[in-house]
Amino acid sequence: MTTVRLIRHVFGQLARGRRLLGLTLLASVPGLVSWIAGGGETDADKLDIYDIVVSTVSGATLSIAVLVLGAAAMRDERDAGTLPFLYLSPVPRWRFAVATWLGASGAAILVAVGGWLVGWVGVGVGSGDWAHAWASLPAYVAGAVGYTAIFIPVGYLFSRAILVGLAYVFIWEGLLTTLISGIAASSVWKTALSIFADLRELPIDALDALGPVLPGVGGGVAKLVGVVLVSLAIFTWALRTRDAL
> Among 73, 48, 82, 112, which Cα is nearest to 235's?
73
pLDDT of 195 higher than 90: yes
Alpha helices by DSSP H, 38-92: 43-80, 83-87
Q: Is the pLDDT higher at 2 or at 111?
A: 111
> Residue 225: its pLDDT value, please?
96
pTM: 0.92
Digit-coded pLDDT (tens) for 43-66: 999 999 999 999 999 999 999 999
Distance CA 171, CA 66 (A): 17
> Residue 241: its pLDDT value, please?
83
> Among 35, 54, 59, 56, which Cα is nearest to 46's?
35
Give whole-number Cα distances, 94 to 70, 84, 91, 140, 235, in Å.
17, 17, 8, 26, 8
Domain that holds residue 161: 3-241
Digit-coded pLDDT (tens) for 148-191: 999 999 998 888 999 999 999 999 999 999 999 899 999 999 99
107 with 11: CB under 8 angstroms?
yes
| Total domain count, the chain | 1
Digit-coded pLDDT (tens) for 52-105: 999 999 999 999 999 999 999 877 666 555 555 555 666 788 888 999 999 999
- CA-based torsion, 118, 122, 128, 133: positive or negative: negative
